[in-house]
Amino acid sequence: MAPKFNYPAEIKGKRKLYSLFNGVKDPLAVISGNHDLFGDSYYLRATFTDKKFIFTQDKELIEYILKQNHKNYFKSEIQAVTLGKYLGNGLLTNNGKDWLQQRRLIQPGFSKTKIANLVSIMDEEINKAFQPFDQEPETDLYDFFHTLAFNIVAKTLFSSDIEEAEIKELGKIITEVQEVFAKEVRLPFYTQILKALGVIGKTIRKSERSKAIIQRVLDKRRNSGEEKNDLLDMLIQSRYEDTGLPMTDQQLVDEMLILFIAGHETTANALSFIFFEISRNPEAEEKLRQEIAEEGENAFISESLMKKSFTTNIIKEAMRLHSPAWAMDRQALEDDRFKEYSWEKGTLIILYISGLHRNPKYWDRPNDFIPERFDDENARNFAYYPFGAGPRLCIGEHFAMMEMTLIVRKFYSKYHFESYQETLEKKALVTLRTTSLPGKIVKI
């Protein structure tokens, strides 16, 4: 009797054991190695849980899951349940009608026009952070960018309504929550141990503390009666289409907490990769400086920051080589098929974005840093999804691109970074990050 479903090539035997055990420690090497051996899509069945996984770096299949048949796919329990218990039910963790309702409510606040109004807040935080660079210090840019990106999110969300001490406390809590969450995702059986040791309960209480800080800021804004034209104002003033009612305080706090995490983590990681690549490519750095000089003061205004440029090419190419969103997961709500493959309801599809971005089927010289490739008139159709695709395309894409472009231009208009590293150590947790980026700042 023929099997009902036709999964891709299955990982079995020693390779399966290797994948299951080493995938926790070094998922990039394991998944990339499996694709090298088994092609652009492969299948793995977890022995103990009997869960079925399809891993793919095939552009057409990824687009089918994220775009053409997105209604048949939810984010998996990993995000909806495991992360949701810490962060609540915001855009990042929600699914279905609830997610769609929230997306439609919040989307207008992240239009290019709205984001352009935040440039002055970003500019002020960047100038303040760059002040010590005039002394040509040695620094770790990885730590620096995490602090800067977090401060930018705090100030664009809350303007002056949040204290520096509260920003630091929120940063500490969010880092600790992510560390526990990463352990739960990689080692599901470890969850019971963490629960027994009281780690999960303690982490949930920390999460509640972060929500209390945000609630206090929300109350302060409401009581002041002021309008500050920041993201918090946008969220407070948003109204549901069907009822005309605003979000509840609980929903507002959940959304703001998720904006904090999503708004700083991936951007800070991307900036570390961008500056590393620029430090290794002096021709690209020189071309970047030339563009900044030609733009003059206009280089730092929203119209220039948002248009296609060599600066944005550099950012896109660095994010191709080192995509912070290195993988996405989706779970099939019903049986499905694509071309020769078919799979059953409940199958988890792992969309391997890091592999897609370096797949030689789609990229010439895939491991080389070539910003000019994004000058191609067909760039819109590249196998390139650092912000996802389809209805769940990252709502903060314009915000992140404008912020990164401003930081890159502000820095390279005055400074040069000499990296002490020839190679970059990468760690794939919830997002892809480096462990450090030490080097020297030189004023030019």
Binding residues: 394
Q: Are 351 and 388 in contact (CB under 8 A)?
A: no
Q: How far apart are CA 268 and CA 277, in angstroms?
A: 15
Strands 438-443, 138-140: pairing is antiparallel
For residue 376, what are its two tokens?
Answer: 């191609």
Which uninterrupted H or E stretch holds 140?
strand 138-140
Four-point Cα dihedral 33, 431, 238, 232, nearest 10: -170
Helix (H, G, I), strand (E, B) or coil at 91: coil
CA within 13 Å, CB half, 318: 29
Q: Are 164 and 125 in contact (CB under 8 A)?
A: no
For residue 130, what are its two tokens?
Answer: 């760059």
Chain centre to alpha carbon of residue 343: 28
> Which residues belong to the annotated binding site for heme?
394
**What letter would DSSP give residue 423?**
S
Beta-carbon contacts of residue 251 (< 8 Å; ≥ 6 apart): 89, 90, 102
Q: What is the DSSP string of 310-328?
A: HHHHHHHHHHHHT-SS--E
Identify each DSSP E strand in 282-422 by its residue range: 328-332, 336-338, 341-343, 348-351, 415-419
For residue 378, what are its two tokens?
Answer: 């067909």
Alpha helices in 131-237 (DSSP H): 141-158, 164-186, 190-196, 199-224, 231-237
Q: How far apart are CA 303 and CA 301, in angstroms?
A: 6
For residue 359, what are its two tokens?
Answer: 């797949």
